[in-house]
Amino acid sequence: MKKKAFRGLFLCAVLGALAFRVARLDIRPMHADEANQAVKFGDLLERGEYRFDPQDHHGPTLYYLTLPAAWAARATTLAGLDERVLRLVPALFGAALLLVLLLFSGGLSREAALAAAALAAVSPALTYFSRFYIQETLLVFFLAALIGAGWRYARKRSALWAVLAGISAGMMFATKETSVILFVAIAAAFVGLSLIESLGARRHGGAAAGEAWVWRDSRMKLPTAFHLALFLAAGIITAIAFYTSFFHNTQGLADSVRAIGASFAKAGDPGFHAHPWYYYFQTLAYSKTAGGPVWSEAFLLFLAVAGGIAALGHDAGREGSPRFLRFVLLFTVITAAVYSLIPYKTPWNLLPFYLGLVILAGNGVALLLRISRFKLVKVLVLAVLIPGFADLARQDYRANFKLPADPVNPYAYAQTSPDLLKLVAQVDRAAAVSPEKLDLLVEVIASPDETWPLPWYLRKFGRVGYWTSPEAAQRDAGARQAAVVISGAAFADAVAAQLGDGYEQSFYGLRPEVVLALFVRHNP
């Protein structure tokens, strides 16, 4: 493929990724996890202060990288933000992921890189979670940057690429402490690749420069001590800067280490998030609920298998490297195995090894095009590939713009129901007719699992209290009569008895199988 054609088509893929990711970012209600991150960011925005919390929170990069978006929107408070501003940050990183694929030049052929970019652009999974205000899309971006910078270093062996790889690794850890799994997987893939190539060299009586078992033109060499020191220093300084709130909270670094233990403890006690080992691949290969459509990324999985098998061969195209592809294959297999064996599973946790699947799938497309030497065969291959890409784009549109919060969507995991927006609208109407306006008293009486994302939707109200039982609320509130009370369904009868006849009661869905009761005081 000529450079001009590659650049034009790659630009189209990037623009397509942007269109899917940034359009109508407010179409879906805020997920509980998104609301949690948003409120955490609100503390940084309003007070300029951030302290890392190792319990149930991940790293700080998401919050600090959201500041420019909030400043551009001229928002100075949490109440001044909306979903679009927050979600724009992961959306832009999700689109920029395609640009990072350019770092794989020399490892991927142009056809493979272009196909991987196109698959990433229309991927339902990558797109859906790029529109999600959580850390995973940033983690995958920095993972790709680490692999890309590492590959560049392997070819150029320059201090610059060693530093950039270190910064990428530091950003990964500062994004999510569980990135240690990915660091171990990268190291294991590298060691595994070395062992495989050592066996291959023995079998073939040695390996000459330019053969399949080496980088294109030279044998693999370990980094110099100086470059390794640069890599480690860049990574450590980056992680320390973020976790210590740019050296204002020295406890943050120790807390980041504690967070690793907390995350692994949670992984061993998954509760609601316990799923079988095949959950991720079932989600990708075939998902269907009663009355819902079929969801399947089997097309991408098939291409990834083809690309993985091709990586074991001697031909990676004119610009490709079999060794780079073998590394990606090993990393993907190791990461997928580890994440599948961890009982705690949420669909966005598949993204790190999904990146490897996309790269391998791009190589699969390149393989099919490369072996199609006859026009008729090439036409038949294109007749399969084009509908496959189109079907992914169709599912992408359906997942993000038609059914973004519907339980039939396999990526809409514990997603907030649009019905909650009706509850919020009722609270807004109560405030509009109340003399207290936004200072009316709102009581929320529910378990912690039933509370989120209410703090986000009630962020503009000045007096909101949260209790975990009706007794605690009555004890603390005393004789005060809240204008609005929101309770979990289990507390509805007890709250109704406490409030008496002066309230109108109604029920709204929070998420699948979770209902909230709303009590609005009658106007005097």
pLDDT higher than 50, residue 211 = no
Segment 213-235 mean pLDDT: 73
Residue 317: its pLDDT value, please? 64
In this structure, are 323 and 428 located in the same domain? no
Distance between CA atoms of 442 and 462, rounded to whole angstroms?
A: 9
Tell me the pLDDT band of 197, cut-offs 50, 70 and 90: confident
Identify the weakest region by mean pLDDT among 66-70, 123-127, 193-197, 346-350. Answer: 193-197
Contact present, 477 and 491 (Cβ < 8 Å): no
Q: Where does residue 454 rank: exposed (0-12), middle (13-18), buried (19+ CB within 10 A)? A: buried
Which residues fall within 8 angstroms of residue 28, CB to CB, at 6 or more apart?
A: 131, 404, 405, 415
In this structure, are 363 and 461 located in the same domain? no
In this structure, are 393 and 480 located in the same domain? no
In this structure, are 376 and 497 located in the same domain? no
Segment 245-273 mean pLDDT: 83
pLDDT higher than 80, residue 222 = no
Contact present, 121 and 9 (Cβ < 8 Å): no
pLDDT higher than 80, residue 312 = yes
Classify residue 413: in a domain, yes or no. no
Smallest CA-to-CA distance from 182 within 228, 147, 131 is with 147
Residue 522: its pLDDT value, please? 87
Segment 106-113 mean pLDDT: 93
Contact present, 284 and 297 (Cβ < 8 Å): yes
In this structure, are 387 and 470 located in the same domain? no
More confident call, 254 vs 442: 442
Tell me the pLDDT band of 524, cut-offs 50, 70 and 90: low
- Quote the percentage of the chain above a pLDDT of 70: 94
Distance between CA atoms of 415 and 29, rounded to whole angstroms?
A: 8
Residue 207: its pLDDT value, please? 46
In this structure, are 188 and 235 located in the same domain? yes
Report CA dihedral (229, 235, 236, 238) to the nearest 10 degrees: 140
Task: Give the number of domains in the chain.
Answer: 2
Distance between CA atoms of 35 and 290, rounded to whole angstroms?
A: 29
In this structure, are 171 and 283 located in the same domain? yes
Query: In the 8-state DSSP scheme, what is residue 105?
Result: B
Q: Where does residue 522 rank: exposed (0-12), middle (13-18), buried (19+ CB within 10 A)? A: exposed
Distance between CA atoms of 252 and 246, rounded to whole angstroms?
A: 10
pLDDT higher than 60, residue 213 = no
Tell me the pLDDT band of 204, cut-offs 50, 70 and 90: low
In this structure, are 56 and 123 located in the same domain? yes
pLDDT higher than 60, residue 212 = no
162-190 burial, b at 16+ Cβ within 10 Å, e below that, comes to bbbbbbbbbbbbbbbbbbebbeebbebbe
With vertex at residue 451, the alpha carbon angle to CA 445 and CA 453, rounded to the nearest 5 degrees, is 145
Segment 433-446 mean pLDDT: 93
pLDDT higher than 80, residue 523 = no
Distance between CA atoms of 42 and 10, rounded to whole angstroms?
A: 37
Segment 306-324 mean pLDDT: 83
Domain boundary among 349, 376, 402: 402
Segment 466-492 mean pLDDT: 87
pLDDT higher than 50, residue 343 = yes
In this structure, are 325 and 369 located in the same domain? yes
pLDDT higher than 60, residue 126 = yes
In this structure, are 366 and 502 located in the same domain? no
Tell me the pLDDT band of 51, cut-offs 50, 70 and 90: confident
- Strands ordered across the beta sheet of 463-467: 463-467, 441-445, 484-488, 514-521, 503-511
Q: Where does residue 18 rank: exposed (0-12), middle (13-18), buried (19+ CB within 10 A)? A: middle
Segment 430-435 mean pLDDT: 92
Classify residue 479: in a domain, yes or no. yes
The CATH number given to whatever domain includes residue 491 is 3.40.190
Which residues fall within 8 angstroms of residue 412, CB to CB, at 6 or more apart?
A: 399, 403, 404, 405, 406
Q: Where does residue 293 rank: exposed (0-12), middle (13-18), buried (19+ CB within 10 A)? A: middle
Residue 201: its pLDDT value, please? 59
Residue 107: its pLDDT value, please? 92
Classify residue 414: in a domain, yes or no. no
Identify the weakest region by mean pLDDT among 255-259, 321-325, 437-441. Answer: 255-259
In this structure, are 43 and 160 located in the same domain? yes
pLDDT higher than 60, residue 350 = yes
Residue 210: its pLDDT value, please? 42
Classify residue 411: in a domain, yes or no. no
Mean pLDDT, the chain, whole residue set: 91
Residue 221: its pLDDT value, please? 64
Classify residue 179: in a domain, yes or no. yes
Smallest CA-to-CA distance from 456 within 413, 488, 427 is with 427
pLDDT higher than 70, residue 470 = yes
pLDDT higher than 70, residue 191 = yes
Classify residue 409: in a domain, yes or no. no
Residue 338: its pLDDT value, please? 96
Tell me the pLDDT band of 321, cut-offs 50, 70 and 90: confident
Tell me the pLDDT band of 296, cut-offs 50, 70 and 90: very high
Tell me the pLDDT band of 320, cut-offs 50, 70 and 90: confident
Smallest CA-to-CA distance from 59 within 264, 258, 229, 271 is with 258
Classify residue 423: in a domain, yes or no. yes
Classify residue 82: in a domain, yes or no. yes
In this structure, are 222 and 350 located in the same domain? yes
| Category of 176 on φ-ψ map: left (φ > 0), alpha (ψ -120 to 50) or beta | beta
Residue 139: its pLDDT value, please? 98
More confident call, 250 vs 39: 39
Residue 262: its pLDDT value, please? 80
Distance between CA atoms of 5 and 113, rounded to whole angstroms?
A: 13
Domain boundary among 345, 367, 402: 402
What's the chain's length in residues? 524
Distance between CA atoms of 146 and 491, rounded to whole angstroms?
A: 49
Domain that holds residue 334: 3-402
Structure tokens, 147: 């692999």
Segment 152-171 mean pLDDT: 94
Query: In the 8-state DSSP scheme, what is residue 99?
Result: H
Q: CB count, 10 Å around CB of 382?
A: 13
Strand partners, 518: 486, 506
Residue 204 CA: distances (Å) to CA of 194, 216, 230, 325: 15, 17, 36, 20
Q: Per-residue pLDDT tens for 369-410? A: 888 777 788 888 888 899 999 999 999 999 999 999 999 999
pLDDT higher than 70, residue 356 = yes
pLDDT higher than 70, residue 193 = yes
Query: In the 8-state DSSP scheme, what is residue 60?
Result: S
Segment 486-493 mean pLDDT: 95
Segment 60-72 mean pLDDT: 96
Distance between CA atoms of 37 and 54, rounded to whole angstroms?
A: 14
Domain boundary among 402, 437, 452: 402
Supply the DSSP string of 198-230, one letter for each residue: HHHHHHTTS--TTSTTS-SSS---PPPHHHHHH
Q: How many whole angstroms from its chain centre is CA 113?
A: 21
